[in-house]
Chain A
Amino acid sequence: MRLRAKLAYTAAGLTLLAALLVPFLLMGLFTRTFAAMDLHVDEMYSGGPTVRTVQSGAYSIAIHRPVYPHMLQNERPFVQLDWKPVSALPGRVSDVVDIDGDGRPDVRVSFEAPKDPKTPLRVNVEPLSLRYEAMRNVGKEQYSRLIVRVDDAILIRVPLANQ
């Protein structure tokens, strides 16, 4: 048998060995390698990292870093605010929030917080700063302007105004 053929059969044998190792080693190895690659899910979906949390009585408001769309992404820049836990929220929430932490209020957010998680949510946002857009009776039309309930939190995304 020629050397080339010997090498070819060796490679085929190694492929068979790799097949045996797939469920016990390779799958886990590739999964861990991918998870360790410092990749992150697009912030248009995840809402970006939390930068500050404000306590308001029995509940807190988590303020996320503003998210800006990439390239031709058909969304507006926005900032996400999370009210949690839902169980501690009053029936009607109306909070003034200082989003950028400069000591001045930026938006007044008002919404009903029904106990039934299947009840559709609507939100009103009144801008107190030129940086944010108003929202009137908004549900979940777009990633950049919505109110949704995720687990034990109510998430609101307030679009940033064009400046």
Chain B
Amino acid sequence: MATNVRLPRTVSPAPRTIGRSLLLTSPIIVWSILMFANPNTQGDRRSQIAGAITAVFMIALFFMMMRTGTTYRCRRLFFVSLGILFPVGFIHNVIAARGTMGIPIEEMIAGRTPFCFMPIPLLILPAAFTRTLVFPGSILPNGGMSGGGMAAMVGIWLAITLVIGKGWCSYACFFGGIEEGIAALPKRAKIRKIDVRWRYGPWAVLLAMVLLSLALFEPAYCMWLCPFKAVSEYVAARNTVGLVQNGIFVTLFAGLVIVLPLLTKKRTQCSIFCPFGAFQSIFNKTSIFEVKIDQTRCQPCVLCQNACPNMSLSRESIARGETLMSCMKCGACVDVCPRQAVVWHIKGTEVAVKPERARLMFLYAAWAMAVMFGGSIIAQGLTTILHFLA
């Protein structure tokens, strides 16, 4: 029905002048200088160069977002860079520290397993019942690959989540960029119809993993299902069980992060599998920023639904004038709408009244977090590349 509707000509937002775009970018310029003028890297020339390149890159992307009035493409460029450069820097550090991507049992016992954000929801129930963290890391920095320890990762995650909620999945997650980049490669999706029930996948995986982690007292997702172990680190295979675990990691990575995004042009791992994404969706309820659909302008052409990389729009939700709880605030639907009916929105205000103000407020918050967290990871990856080039 909706696909037969004649679409109005796409109306792109009028570009801003260069001067005005620069003026709007100036807070991000100051922020980037603050973030990358790190006195700790004064002696390290490669880190300084990588920091400078990253700062210019982030500022240029924000400038383009201001100039064009669109969000998705520039954000995607940042996000894909993050997804590519995270494994570059991380794998280099892991191999430099221990000579392999496999985590030996000695490192786990010593509490030096690097802690990413993925196991956070799995830790909650065991910690609540027994005050025990079921992860072979350390709470505070402990040398080796322990980084800042679990406390630092939880602190960063909580602070960023407080600011942008589920926006984490579009502006901070250092895994999602890989599949977003792969999903951008084909011109058209080979699989266009995806059963809506797959949207419940992340919730099912989250529930199963939380309960399993409580029962087995181990980070079950990290031990058995995380596709990104294939590009970060994995439990060193000491026996058949270890080999099976590593086989699962590689298979899931190939299926969910490479093959399905190529076929569907969606972030399939995020949309149908990622338990952390489901957990993070809860924080969409606490975030002040959201995406809404102005029903007075909407002619339900479902272009937004097709463009959404996370299956966060349905005909029913469009009819209600809102996105689903899993919306990552990537901006794809806003940019694609030919009638500018899909808008950024601040909860409590009227829909489509000054949507650009809502967009700017969200983007300043989100980009500040992207520069601070993602930017530092991009800079680390670039430092590694410069190290190899030198």
Contacts and interface: CB of A to CB of B under 8 A. Distances in A.
Contacts of B162: 15, 18, 26
- Of the listed residues B132, B160, B289, B368, the one surrounded by the most CB atoms of chain A closer than 10 A to its CB is B132
A148 interface: yes
A16 interface: yes
A93 interface: no
Contacts of A148: 105-106, 109
Interface residues of A, number: 50
Interface in A117-150: 140-141, 143, 146, 148-150
- Of the listed residues A22, A32, A46, the one surrounded by the most CB atoms of chain B closer than 10 A to its CB is A22
Contact of A20 (B131, B135, B216, B368): B368
B142 to A, nearest CB: 10
A32 B155 CA distance: 8
Interface in A3-51: 4-5, 7-9, 11-13, 15-16, 18-20, 22-23, 26-35, 38-47
A70 interface: yes
Contacts of A28: 155
Given A20-B368, A140-B238, A8 B346 contact: yes
Contacts of A38: 131
B184 to A, nearest CB: 28
A43 B35 CA distance: 38
B226 to A, nearest CB: 18
B127 A39 contact: yes
Contact of A12 (B106, B126, B215, B289): B289
A74 interface: yes
Interface of B: 35, 105-106, 108-111, 126-127, 130-140, 148-152, 154-156, 158-160, 162-164, 214-218, 238-239, 288-289, 346-350, 358, 361, 364-365, 368-369, 372
A11 B348 contact: yes
A12 B148 CA distance: 30
A27 B155 contact: yes
B159 A15 contact: no
B340 to A, nearest CB: 21
Given A15-B365, A30-B159, A155 B372 contact: no
A116 interface: no
A25 B215 CA distance: 36
B179 to A, nearest CB: 26
A80 B162 CA distance: 41
B158 A4 contact: no
B90 to A, nearest CB: 20
Contacts of B158: 26, 30, 34
Given A35-B151, A150-B106, A22 B159 contact: yes
B372 A41 contact: no
Contacts of A73: 216-218
B338 to A, nearest CB: 27
Contact of B154 (A16, A20, A31, A47): A31
A71 B346 contact: no
Given A22-B163, A41-B137, A71 B217 contact: yes
A73 B162 CA distance: 34
A134 to B, nearest CB: 21
A16 B134 CA distance: 34
A63 B239 CA distance: 29
- Of the listed residues A5, A31, A47, A73, the one surrounded by the most CB atoms of chain B closer than 10 A to its CB is A31
